[in-house]
Chains A and B, each alone.
Chain A
Amino acid sequence: MRQYAFFLGCIAPNRYPGIEASAIKTSEKVGIELLPLKGASCCPAPGAFGSIDLNIWYAMAARNVVLAEQMGVDITLICNGCYKSIYEVNEKLKHNDELRDGVNEVLKEIDMEFKGSVDVWHLAELYYDPKIVGLKKIADSITRPLSGVKIAVHYGCHLMKPAKERHFGDSENPMWIEELVAALGAEPVQYRNKMLCCGAGGGVRGYDLTHAIDITNEKMINLQEAGADALTEVCPFCQLQYDRGQIEIEEKFGITWGLPVLHYNELLGLAQGMSPDELALDLHAVDVEPFLKKIL
């Protein structure tokens, strides 16, 4: 078993706890043990904090990284917003002495020091990496193949972009999460403008909801064109935007899409035999039942 400090973020534990539960259970089956990262906070929200003062964003994210440094293990996480804060700040502070010194001056006040001794990974990339888990191990772990369903992938912006500050290569048409979907027995489908934002980021969801869900609605049009049975992502904030956003689209625009939205860990849980109850799928705003009927 490889061990990682599990950075939870906010929306997974506090809105979609099925993502947290499935991440822990599904990872165990592919050789990853997720350890509690005690006392972690919000990453903090890169839109809100980064917009107000990047220095506070650096310091707050660094505090979370230092908690893992004290444990002596790398961090893994399940949210792209968290990935932006935790991964990006960790890398920036490792490579920019001026930023690191500034952050450490603040952290000194709470008896902490950023050392740069751990790395940060998105759980999905650990699943994809053949040196850690790999597609074969994922495929071998499933007991209920998701055959006969078409699943579209939303990568989410902060996982892939800016590409030069990531290590996933091209951000225009990545395919690796589709490979993870195919490993579950489902058929990944391509759709127009796949890398378009969900609409929620940068504080826009809170600032101008109509604007935010108009972007979401454009995604929905493109997803329906492709005939997707469900949308999967690796970011609870994108999930919230697509899931609750569809209800908001109904209320504001009078359009009903009814497209189930599931985090990749929820899909993996289903494929590994977890029941919808064990995933708290009833907490989803858009009914997941039509999708479940096709696979159960």
Chain B
Amino acid sequence: MAVKKDYKDKKLAEKLRDRKYYIPDSNPEFIKEVEKIGLTAAHLCYQCGTCTGSCPSAPRSSYRIRLFMRKAILGLEEEILTDPDLWLCTTCYSCTDRCPRDLAPTDAIMAMRNLAARRDIVPRNFLKTTQLIYQTGHGVPNNDANRAARMKLGLEAEPETTHKYPEYLAGIRKIMDHYGLKERADKILAEEG
């Protein structure tokens, strides 16, 4: 749990938010979890900034992948997992290809997202995609206009996927249910309203 930082001036509190940390803010196990899920040695990051310099999201937002790497090493779990910027990585892997220490920062971010999701912190659109796949097998399902276009092309209205063979949906649902994903997605979205 983060210590409550009681600056009376809210702007000052915000400004100092990233600067003042206490021992209980840090979870030394966090970086180990990131490394285990992301299959990377993220703790070796020496903060050169090649990742942020390569990042298409950095010039147009406050998302800084170098900062996430540093915070992860410092164990600032709470701050990382509740930061909306965590979801601005397009997973383009430019940082991963350019990282001089070969630390796959993209995969570290994916691991941090997985850890956020364990606490039910997931943006709606991610959950909605999983719901659609549970229902139809597709993240982007067929529709009537597209069915008509397909037939004009000499294709069948439904592609040779779960759309044409819905009997395969049972297997997909079993896999997702194994992880309780559908139930969790429904619950989180219902809570958000």
Distance between B95 CB and nearest chain A CB, rounded to angstroms: 10
CA gap between A201 and B109 in the complex, in Å: 14
Q: List residues 44-86 of chain A with CB under 8 A from any CB of chain B.
A: 44-56, 59-60, 63
CA gap between A219 and B156 in the complex, in Å: 35
Q: List residues 135-167 of chain A with CB under 8 A from any CB of chain B.
A: 157-158, 161-164
Q: Is the CB of B114 within 8 A of A52?
A: yes
CA gap between A13 and B143 in the complex, in Å: 11
0 or 1 for each of A69-110: is its CB under 8 Å from B? (1 = yes): 000000000000000000000000000000000000011011
Task: Say whether B123 faces chain A, with CB atoms less than 8 Å apart.
Answer: yes
Please tell me the number of chain A residues within 8 Å of chain B, measured between CB atoms: 69
Q: Is the CB of A161 within 8 A of B141?
A: no
Q: Is the CB of A48 within 8 A of B130?
A: yes
Given the interface pairs A204-B87, A204-B90, A215-B60, the reply to whether A41 lies near B153 with Cβ below 8 Å is no
Of the candidate stretches B2-10, B72-80, B167-175, the one touching chain A is B167-175
Task: Say whether A17 faces chain B, with CB atoms less than 8 Å apart.
Answer: yes
Interface of A is mostly: helix
- Interface band, chain B: 35 or more
Distance between B29 CB and nearest chain A CB, rounded to angstroms: 19
Q: Is the CB of A199 within 8 A of B90?
A: yes
Q: Is the CB of B56 within 8 A of A63?
A: no
Given the interface pairs A161-B92, A211-B61, the reply to whether A21 lies near B153 with Cβ below 8 Å is yes
Give which listed residue, A40, A51, A206, contacts B114 with CB less than 8 A: A51
Chain A residue numbers with a CB within 8 Å of B90 are: 157, 197, 199-202, 204, 212, 215
0 or 1 for each of B142-170: is its CB under 8 Å from A? (1 = yes): 11001001101111000111111101101
Give which listed residue, B97, B106, B161, contacts A40 with CB less than 8 A: B161
Task: Say whether B51 faces chain A, with CB atoms less than 8 Å apart.
Answer: no
Chain A residue numbers with a CB within 8 Å of B174 are: 109-110
Q: Is the CB of B117 within 8 A of A51?
A: yes
A13, A18, A44: which has the most chain B beta carbons within 10 Å? A13
Q: Is the CB of A17 within 8 A of B149?
A: yes
Count of inter-chain pairs, beta carbons less than 8 A: 212
Task: Say whether A288 faces chain B, with CB atoms less than 8 Å apart.
Answer: no
Q: Is the CB of B87 within 8 A of A52?
A: no
Task: Say whether B140 faces chain A, with CB atoms less than 8 Å apart.
Answer: yes
Chain B residue numbers with a CB within 8 Å of A182 are: none
Q: Is the CB of B149 within 8 A of A50?
A: no
Chain B residue numbers with a CB within 8 Å of A279 are: 153
Q: Is the CB of B88 within 8 A of A14?
A: no
Given the interface pairs A52-B113, A211-B60, the reply to whether A206 lies near B92 with Cβ below 8 Å is no
Chain A residue numbers with a CB within 8 Å of B150 are: 13, 17
Q: List residues 262-290 of chain A with CB under 8 A from any CB of chain B.
A: 277-280, 283
Distance between B187 CB and nearest chain A CB, rounded to angstroms: 13
Q: Is the CB of A278 within 8 A of B153?
A: yes
Of the candidate stretches B11-19, B20-28, B131-139, the one touching chain A is B131-139
Chain B residue numbers with a CB within 8 Å of A200 are: 90
CA gap between A162 and B97 in the complex, in Å: 6
Closest to B184 in A: A52
Closest to B132 in A: A42
Q: Is the CB of B117 within 8 A of A161?
A: no
Q: Is the CB of B179 within 8 A of A56?
A: yes
Closest to B158 in A: A13
Of the candidate stretches A31-39, A120-128, A225-233, the one touching chain B is A31-39
Q: Is the CB of B152 within 8 A of A106?
A: no
Given the interface pairs A161-B97, A162-B97, A197-B94, the reply to whether A55 lies near B179 with Cβ below 8 Å is yes
A-B contact pairs, 15 of them (CB 8 A): A11-B140, A13-B159, A21-B153, A44-B130, A44-B133, A48-B129, A48-B139, A51-B117, A52-B181, A54-B111, A60-B133, A63-B175, A158-B91, A162-B104, A206-B126
Binding site for A on B (CB under 8 A): 37, 56-57, 60-61, 87-94, 96-97, 102, 104, 106, 110-111, 113-114, 117, 122-123, 125-130, 133, 137-143, 146, 149-150, 152-155, 159-165, 167-168, 170-172, 174-176, 178-179, 181
The 8 closest A-B pairs by CB, nearest first: A206-B125, A39-B168, A161-B93, A36-B160, A202-B91, A13-B159, A197-B92, A41-B137
